[in-house]
Amino acid sequence: MTTAKGIATRQRIVEAAAAEIRERGTLATTLDDVCRRSGTGKSQMFHYFPEGREQLLLAVTEFEARHVFDDQQPYLDDLVSRAAWEQWRDVIVDTCRRQGPHCPLGVLIADVGRYSPAAQAVTTQLIRRWQDAVRTGIEATQAAGEADPALDADRTAAAVITAIQGGVSVLLSTGSVDHLEAVLSLCLDHLLGPVGQ
Amino acid sequence: MTTAKGIATRQRIVEAAAAEIRERGTLATTLDDVCRRSGTGKSQMFHYFPEGREQLLLAVTEFEARHVFDDQQPYLDDLVSRAAWEQWRDVIVDTCRRQGPHCPLGVLIADVGRYSPAAQAVTTQLIRRWQDAVRTGIEATQAAGEADPALDADRTAAAVITAIQGGVSVLLSTGSVDHLEAVLSLCLDHLLGPVGQ
């Protein structure tokens, strides 16, 4: 049923929607805009997204989330030393600074992520996947003797990704990345001990 | 110019808008709804909020923020011991758990706080006021010998309130308060040292 051509068409629709949303915001983007930009008809659109606008927005959320994961590589998959954690932190802070209040995933999750069970399922799964990657890093860092072995790795990972979301949330409200840097540094100091120890 | 009656009328409008937004959401609330609910005419509305809807929404944001500050008392103004910090944390977590994804301030800031300079000014000032209150607590706790004196109090306060915003953000997306509790507990452990020391 999903041919290579079908996958390509669906992907073209998702990328067109992502581009529209990046330019104009979630609320201003209509299915007609996305059809026009992607060169697809309404019937094709409803073939790939039978539930309509929200289903498309969730596919765009997953698409933007892949970018966010990719932006964190290769650091996210190699969190084992203080140097690696600090590089990862700096990549996150720099990416957020560059995007300013226009973080595509942050905007999307804020706009679509709150109300429906489908949206909650997607964001919950993204959070879980990110938390698992960070937890793996914490466990590796503990095994390498560079992090306090008494810390609960999963709960600490939950704290770290929540801290980042808070930093993004403050960034969206104020335009400044300082709070993101402060909270993420506090988490790393707690995980790794103060610099120089 | 601002008589007692004028202040009362303005307050009635703000409270009516806050109630509408709590019931129906920011986007669905119109000035007509607020006029009807508060029993005021359009001309009165524009007397108190000459710049219209956004100005009213920012007044509601400040109104809801006062509730959020009040909810944290008397703990927020008395952060000096581990017991006080833990009570404060528990009040925040319990309030958020009770409100679930319907935290009125979180919703408002997400809906109005991102785009205009006026909105950024209001949210920046709210964040600053909250951070100052937490910083005062950190300094008092350091002076009492219960927190690491080497920590930068203002930067640690920035981290703590950012952590809370992250927890609220995850709560809005997933409906769970676990991440809020994890990140706030990590911050307190970092500030106060592990439990039992």
Quick one: tokens of A54?
């929200």
| Residue of A163, A170, A180 lying closest to B127 (CB–CB) | A170
Cα–Cα distance for residue pair B18/B24, rounded to 1 Å = 10
Quick one: tokens of B72?
């944290």
| Model pLDDT, residue A193 | 87
Cα of B157 to nearest chain A Cα, Å:
9
* pLDDT tens digits, one per residue of B12-71: 999 999 999 888 888 888 999 999 999 999 999 999 999 988 899 999 989 998 988 898
* pLDDT tens digits, one per residue of A7-22: 999 999 999 999 998 8
**Looking at the domain covering A57-192, what would its CATH class be?**
mainly alpha
Average pLDDT over every residue of B118-135:
90
| CATH architecture classification, B1-50 | Orthogonal Bundle (1.10)
Mutation target among B102, B109, B165 for the A interface, most CBs of A within 10 A = B165
- Checking if the pLDDT of B79 tops 80, the result is yes
First to last CA, chain B: 58
* pLDDT tens digits, one per residue of A54-102: 899 999 989 998 988 998 999 999 999 999 999 999 999 999 998 876 7
Amino acid occupying residue B161 = I
A127–B174: do the CB atoms touch at under 8 Å?
Answer: yes
Ramachandran region, residue A2 (left: φ > 0; alpha: ψ -120 to 50; beta: rest): beta
Cβ pair B173, A124 in contact under 8 A: yes
| Residue of B162, B185, B187 lying closest to A170 (CB–CB) | B162
Strand ranges inside chain A, DSSP E: none
* pLDDT tens digits, one per residue of B83-112: 999 999 999 999 999 887 777 777 777 677
| Model pLDDT, residue A195 | 64
CA-closest candidate to residue A102, choices A64, A59, A46, A52: A64
| Model pLDDT, residue B190 | 96
B159–A159: do the CB atoms touch at under 8 Å?
Answer: no
Amino acid occupying residue A59 = A
Is A68's Cβ below 8 Å from some Cβ in B?
no
Ramachandran region, residue B56 (left: φ > 0; alpha: ψ -120 to 50; beta: rest): alpha
Q: Residue A110 CB: number of other CB atoms within 10 A?
A: 24
| Model pLDDT, residue A114 | 62
| Model pLDDT, residue B197 | 46
Cβ pair B106, B168 in contact under 8 A: yes
- Checking if the pLDDT of A197 tops 50, the result is no
B182–A101: do the CB atoms touch at under 8 Å?
Answer: no
| Model pLDDT, residue B1 | 57
Is B93's Cβ below 8 Å from some Cβ in A?
no
| Model pLDDT, residue B103 | 73
B174–A114: do the CB atoms touch at under 8 Å?
Answer: no
Mean pLDDT, all residues of chain B: 89
Biggest CA pair distance of chain A? 62
What are the structural domain ranges in chain B? Answer: 1-50, 53-192
- Checking if the pLDDT of A125 tops 50, the result is yes
Is A81's Cβ below 8 Å from some Cβ in B?
no
Is A116's Cβ below 8 Å from some Cβ in B?
no
If you write DSSP's letter for every residue of B109-166 in order, what string do you get? HHHHSSSSHHHHHHHHHHHHHHHHHHHHHHHHHHHTT-S-TTS-HHHHHHHHHHHHHH
* pLDDT tens digits, one per residue of B135-194: 999 999 999 999 999 999 999 999 999 999 999 888 888 888 999 999 999 999 999 987
Quick one: tokens of B140?
């008092």
A159 vs A65, higher pLDDT: A159
Amino acid occupying residue B115 = Y
ipTM of the prediction: 0.86
If you write DSSP's letter for every residue of B56-87 in order, what string do you get? HHHHHHHHHHHHHHHHTTTTGGG--SHHHHHH
At the topology level of CATH, where does B53-192 sit? Tetracycline Repressor; domain 2 (1.10.357)
| Residue of A166, A182, A189 lying closest to B165 (CB–CB) | A166
Mutation target among A164, A173, A189, A195 for the B interface, most CBs of B within 10 A = A173
Burial B112-147 (b: 16+ CB within 10 A, else e): bbbeeeebbebbbebbeebbebbbbbbbbbbeeebb
| Residue of B107, B113, B173 lying closest to A173 (CB–CB) | B113
